[in-house]
Amino acid sequence: MSSAVDAAARALVRRDRSEADVRRILAREGVSDSEADVAVERLRELGALDDQRFAANRAAALAERGYGDAAIAGRLGRDGIPRDVAAAAIDDLAPEGERAVRLAAHRGDPARTARWLAGRGFCADSIESALPAIADTAEAELG
């Protein structure tokens, strides 16, 4: 059991991880499910493993890098974060529409920017709210 806790702790030394990610690492190292359960519980008790903290930090980092809510939710899901925890983390971010407007203000061509935002996981309403910012930027560049 101690070796399972040590292996899980080593996985957390370089960066914060989700519980699911730690469990995958332990499984790759041949740790049994029961030993992994004990190790994960111990790290939770110590505060070293916290899916809510991980989700909040990961969501904030992805939003900062220009991703919309759908993309953030997808990434958190792949990280093994439960939907309700992911939704709470996304709810704590600045509204998606505001983030889209801020990003669009620094880009050029409205059609390309709209496609770019869609590709980054922004919903249609957020993209639509950003279109005036895109148009204003284009007019300023032309005028």
**C-alpha dist (Å) from residue 93 to 11, 78, 81, 114:** 27, 19, 17, 21
Q: Is the pLDDT of residue 48 over 50?
A: yes
CA 39 to chain centre: 25
Categorize the per-residue pLDDT at 93 as very low, low, confident or very high, splitting at 50, 70 and 90: very high
Share the mean pLDDT of the chain: 89
Q: What is the pLDDT of residue 57?
A: 97
Q: Under CATH, what is the fold of the domain 50-93?
A: Arc Repressor Mutant, subunit A (1.10.10)
Q: What is the pLDDT of residue 105?
A: 84
By CB neighbour count within 10 A (0-12 exposed, 13-18 middle, 19+ buried), where does 123 fall? middle
Kindly state the percentage of the chain with pLDDT values over 90. Answer: 68
Q: What is the pLDDT of residue 135?
A: 58
CB 11 within 8 A of CB 17: yes
Q: Is the pLDDT of residue 140 over 60?
A: no
Within 10 angstroms of residue 13's Cβ, the number of other Cβ atoms is 7
Cβ burial 80-95 (10 Å sphere, 16+ → b, else e) = bbbeebbbebbeebee
Listed by start position, the domains of the chain span 2-49, 50-93, 96-143
